[in-house]
Each structure stands twice: as C-alpha cells, then as structure tokens.
Amino acid sequence: MTGSRPSISGFTFIRNGVQLGFPFVESIRSLLPLVDEFVVAVGRGSDDTLARVQAIGDPKLRIIETVWNERMADRGFVYAQQKMIAQYACTGDWAFYLEGDELVHEAELGRIRASVDRHHGDPRIEALVFDYYHFYGVPSQLATSPAWYRRECRLIRNTIRSYAPDGQYWLVTHRHRSPTYPRAALADAHIYHYGHVRRQAYMQEKLEQTSRYWGKAAPRSAYGRIDPRALSPFDGTHPAVIQEWLAREAEHEFALDPDHVLTRRERKHRLSMLLERSFGWDLSHKHYRLVR
C-alpha cells in the first residue's frame, strides 16, 4: 500500500455467523469506507457464511478460508488463532479489528481517520482505544456496569510485534521482553456492540457452540436475568447499515426476571458502581496503557 496518509487494514474472523445470529455482513460494511483492504478469515462451518461474505462483492475484500481446531479448549485460544490469521495477512500501517457483532457509525468515520493521522507520527502510540456501546436485551438499552469493558483497543499499529492471547485484546512485545498491554490513545469514537440484542434463540446457540472453547458448560441464555442497576437507556442513533438487521434479527421486548437473585459478581459490581459515582473512577478492566 502506498500514499501519503497511513494506510488502514480492516480484519475479522467468522464461522457459522448466520446460524449464530451475527450481523457480520453489516459489521464488515460499516468499516469498508474507512479501510484500504478488509481481510476476513472465514472458518469452514455448516451454514452459508462464506457465500454471504463473498456476496458483499467489494474489491477491498480479501477472504481466507480456514479450518478451526475443534480439539482446542484452552480459554478461547482458537479465537486468538483465527484473529491472528487475519491480522497477519493485513498489509496496512494500522490494523482495525472488528468482531462479527461490532460496528462503527458512519458519522464517526471521519474522526477515526483523523485520529489515525494525528497519532501515526508518534511512536509511543501503539493502539487506539474506542468507547463502547454494549446494547443489551433490546437496541434501546445499554449494559453499563464494570462487568462490561467501557473501552477497548480495536486499532493497532501493524508494524510492531503484537498478538492476541484469546481474541479480545492484544499484547505487545519489544525486543523479546515480557509482553505488555499496548500504549494507547483515545480514538474519539465508539464501537457499537450488538451481540446481546440478537434473538434469544441465536444467543443460546452461540453459547452452546462457543462454551466448549472455554472449557465450561453453556449457561441458559435469558436477557432478563441481570441487575437492573447495570442497565441504562440509549438515546443515540444506530449505524445506518444495521437498521434492517435490528428490525429483522434483534429482540424488541425486554422484561427483567422478577425471580432473579443477584450473583456474587453482580453484588461486587454494584459496589463498584457506587464507588465510581462517588469518586469519579472507572473500575472496568482495561487491556491498554493510556498515553494520552
């Protein structure tokens, strides 16, 4: 890739995206206007995910067909493998990772581009961090407790040594030293995460298929079994490309389970939210070191 501005590669991995209710086509389409290329690692599966990715038909798209290691059951390491297959094929100065249920908003593409341009010349900045909208239950509701990461790296400098331990985040190594979280700056933009508004049946199927990669039994999916204090209304707009999917594939009714008993983890997060409100802290987990 050539040009005066730093180039950006988009990348993701997906398998059985149709069967599991992922808005993966919408996810890819949301990022295509920003990137110079988009690499998709498509795992061999049991639905027409590959055909749907191919049907996008954009010349920026590059598809790598893969076979997942079905015996892998070590903390989701198969996700890390697939993520890195796609990232290692990226040729841009920066690599932008989106999971199959994550989108960017067309109104923020200019801010993302400006952030890359602004930080590209500063070698201290190894990644860009995005604020998150975790939609929960229905598209008009957010999960906001510290149980949900408020910020995460999704753009990383593609000229440094980086790898993903489990698919969600990166570690960086310098001259074979111990790995660290990347040094990061804020991207001044959001990731729109729709995994927890897909229809309940899709979510249960996803839990059944993915739990084995984490070495544990699948829980029963029920959006209403949550601490109500962890939820907040969303009064913004959704990306244009997700509108049809939301109408067709998302849940549109939500009710709290009146019999739900707070788990030990939820009680802990209630205390964390109280401390956050009292002292202005952010007690959610962070996979980065903020430089500026």
pLDDT in tens, 83-113: 999 999 999 999 999 999 999 999 999 999 9
Full set of structural domains in the chain with CATH = 1-292 (3.90.550)
Output the pLDDT for position 236: 97
Q: Given this model, what pLDDT does residue 203 score?
A: 78
Q: Which residues of the chain have pLDDT under 50?
A: 1-2
What pLDDT score does 2 carry? 45
How far apart CA 53 and CA 212 sit, in angstroms, is 26
**CA–CA separation, 256 vs 222, rounded Å?**
9
Q: What pLDDT, on a 0 to 100 scale, did the predictor assign at position 200?
A: 82
Q: What pLDDT score does 1 carry? A: 44
